[in-house]
Amino acid sequence: MSAVFVWVETFDGQLNPSSREALAAGKTLADAWGVPVTALVFGANANAIAQEAGQYGAQNAVVSDDATLSDFRLEPYAALLTKLVQEHQPNAVIAVATSRGRELLASSAADLDAGLIAEAIDLSVDGDGVQATKAAYAGKLVSKLALKTGTKFITIRGRAFKPLDANAGASVTITTVAAALSEDQIPTRIESTELQVGKVNLGDAAIIVSGGRGMANNPKAAPADGGDASIWKAKDGFENMLSPLANVLGGAVGASRAAVDAGFIPYEHQVGQTGKVVNPDLYIAAGISGAIQHQAGMRGSKLIVAINKDADAPIFKMARYGVIEDIYTFLPALTAELKKRLGK
Amino acid sequence: MHIVTFTRSTPDTAAKVEVKADGAVSWGDVATVVNPWDEYSLEETLVQAKNTSGKSTVIAIGTDMHNESLKFALAMGVENAARVQADGMEMTDSLAWATLAAAAVKKVGDVDLVIFGKESIDVSSDAHIYQTARKLGWTMLSYVSKILAIDPVAKTIKVEKVVEQGKQIITAQLPAVVSVMKGINEPRYPSFIGIRKASKAVIPVWTPADLGTALPGQTVQLVSYSNLPPREVKTEIIDGASPEEKAAKLVDKLLEEKVL
């Protein structure tokens, strides 16, 4: 027991910025136990990324830039993580609960029969153990869980922990290791990757602007050959009214389940119980009534603004600021005002 | 090809879930439903079993509360169901759950594919899925948005999966564990005949001993459930003579709050 491991996620030879949150959470535990933070960096450009991890809390780094690790694949990554944990017996392994972080830590914990807590929003040290708080029942409750012995595997929810300020003078001691699997031992092949360029990911977004069923009340006339008129109107609203507002704010576009199920916008934008759980600094709910399923996905937001023409919409009870207006009247005015005030 | 899928009963998505004074979780007398993500995995199981002229089995792990979701799966058209009764196991201990799940798949026998819904809403986690794959020693394909091809003879699978940065096409060897996203299909409703047939089904119950395994030592302790702290929020309605005036006032507030 001599370190806290933090898996530093990379993509395309770059550090995934949310990994700084894992380094900060790891450092809090490491300081309490009086042990160093060791960053684990796998993939292309690992040495440079390890140096960057050093600026955000890691004292040591274990890197491997073997070609089999250049793109994330679960099997070679988990095999190497499991091997490193067996060799070093760290107190804990921490990562952000991104799609990759979740499956990587869960897999390695299973290999080692070690305890795992997924998507922690708060951590505290209890002797050699850790207690963590996480959402339960789709965000309607919280549960407190404890890991007592052995290496403790913990993923943290994105944006739940604050990264440390960069320390440009910090140095990091790097050890290079070989991959644990050779290419012919890996059962998966990535045939192609289609990147979504320029879109802000809901999970990382500091600001989210979401539209609901009210998006169908677009006063524009739908073209006769445009198919279902309310779908056309809502799609036009997401594209030409909500997206420009999100762009001015540097935010992401979200949607309620009602809007997704009605075919207004693809599923990856859904916020709520069967969509994404988000916790931005600012959440603007436009034409969303605020069903309990939606609340479960956004109630962790720091500040909520609700815009709805129905003064009785339940969303107003959660909002710090409410505007009782038709969204198609109000949002263009808001976008224009923000452009002016933010100098864009 | 034989496909196994797992499901659970969870409180209806509209239910108010709360922790009572004695610490127990309660959702009143609201009915349970099949875990919302599992509607898609059940449908995909039926689609892929049909495409490969294969068989389908649905399994739940836990108390008889989960018979409801098993019967829903049977009513949709899954051929066989079984429940693993594991006294003293909390699903918050994903490793214990996965150990039993892997043993149950092995008991079924000739299985090439296990399909899960993206996560289980009661524990709000997907860790048990990845750990089941690991305990089986099978390939894991997560966040799958399309199953593009399965070759039951060559034992290969091709899928589209969603990651934060976009989409990937992956080919892999079977046997595999797949977790599927909402939107992969349009789940069917159980038919009237299906519901009638399922209501009469007797679901076999397996114990860990029947699976030739024992519950592993607990690695995660459930300390407590608690209600969410109330959102201490005083709502301020922004007034003004025109939308423009309200917009200006709202931006003032947002700048004051330092969220822009």
CATH number for the domain spanning B103: value is: 3.40.50.620
Over residues B1-22, mean pLDDT: 94
The CATH number of residue A240's host domain is 3.40.50.1220
Nearest to residue B13, comparing CAs of A71, A183, A291?
Answer: A291
Q: Residue A1 — very low, low, confident or very high, per pLDDT cuts 50/70/90?
A: low
Partner residue facing A323 (CB), from B17, B143, B246? B246
Q: Is A297 helix (H, G, I), strand (E, B) or coil?
A: helix
| Count of residues in chain B | 260
Cβ separation of A188 and B121 shorter than 8 Å? Answer: no
Whether A180 has a pLDDT exceeding 60, the answer reads yes
Name the B residues in 147-166 with CB < 8 Å from any A CB.
158, 162-166
Cβ separation of A100 and B163 shorter than 8 Å? Answer: yes
Cα(A318)–Cα(A324) distance, integer angstroms: 14
Over residues A69-94, mean pLDDT: 97
Partner residue facing A321 (CB), from B37, B135, B253? B253
Whether B255 has a pLDDT exceeding 70, the answer reads yes
pTM above 0.90, yes or no: yes
Picking from A123, A141, A260 by the largest number of B CB atoms within 10 A of its own CB, the best residue to mutate is A141
Residues A23 and A163 sit within 8 Å (Cβ to Cβ):
yes
Over residues A304-311, mean pLDDT: 97
Domain span including residue B139: 2-206
- CB burial of residue B239 (10 Å; 0-12, 13-18, 19+): exposed
Q: Are residues A263 and A317 in the same domain?
A: yes
Q: Are residues A23 and A96 in the same domain?
A: yes
Residue A273 lies in a domain: yes
Cα(A219)–Cα(A234) distance, integer angstroms: 10
Q: Are residues A273 and A181 in the same domain?
A: no
Q: Residue A223 — very low, low, confident or very high, per pLDDT cuts 50/70/90?
A: very high
Cβ separation of A270 and B165 shorter than 8 Å? Answer: no
Residue A192 lies in a domain: no
In sequence order, the 6+-apart residues with CB closer than 8 A to the CB of A65 are A42, A43, A44, A45, A46, A47, A176
pLDDT digits (tens, 9 = 90+) for B149-198: 999 999 999 999 998 888 999 999 999 999 999 989 999 999 999 999 99
Over residues A60-76, mean pLDDT: 97
Give φ, ψ of B62 to 5 degrees. Answer: 145, -165
Whether A34 has a pLDDT exceeding 60, the answer reads yes
- The mean-pLDDT minimum among A75-79, A193-197, B78-82, B102-106 falls in A193-197
Q: Are residues A33 and A143 in the same domain?
A: yes
The domain total for chain B is: 1
pLDDT digits (tens, 9 = 90+) for A230-281: 999 999 999 999 999 999 999 999 999 999 999 999 988 999 988 898 999 9
Over residues A58-70, mean pLDDT: 97
- List of chain B residues whose C-beta atoms are within 8 Å of the C-beta of residue A281: 259
Give φ, ψ of A43 to 5 degrees. Answer: 115, -175
Q: Are residues A217 and A176 in the same domain?
A: no
First to last CA, chain A: 52
Query: Are β-strands B156-163 and B166-173 bridged in parallel, bridged antiparallel, or unpaired?
Result: antiparallel
Residue B242 lies in a domain: no
pLDDT digits (tens, 9 = 90+) for A106-123: 999 999 999 999 999 999
Over residues A210-219, mean pLDDT: 96
The domain total for chain A is: 2
Q: Residue A198 — very low, low, confident or very high, per pLDDT cuts 50/70/90?
A: low
Residue B58 lies in a domain: yes
Residue B184 lies in a domain: yes
Q: Are residues A178 and A212 in the same domain?
A: no
Domain span including residue A261: 202-342
Q: Are residues A128 and A28 in the same domain?
A: yes
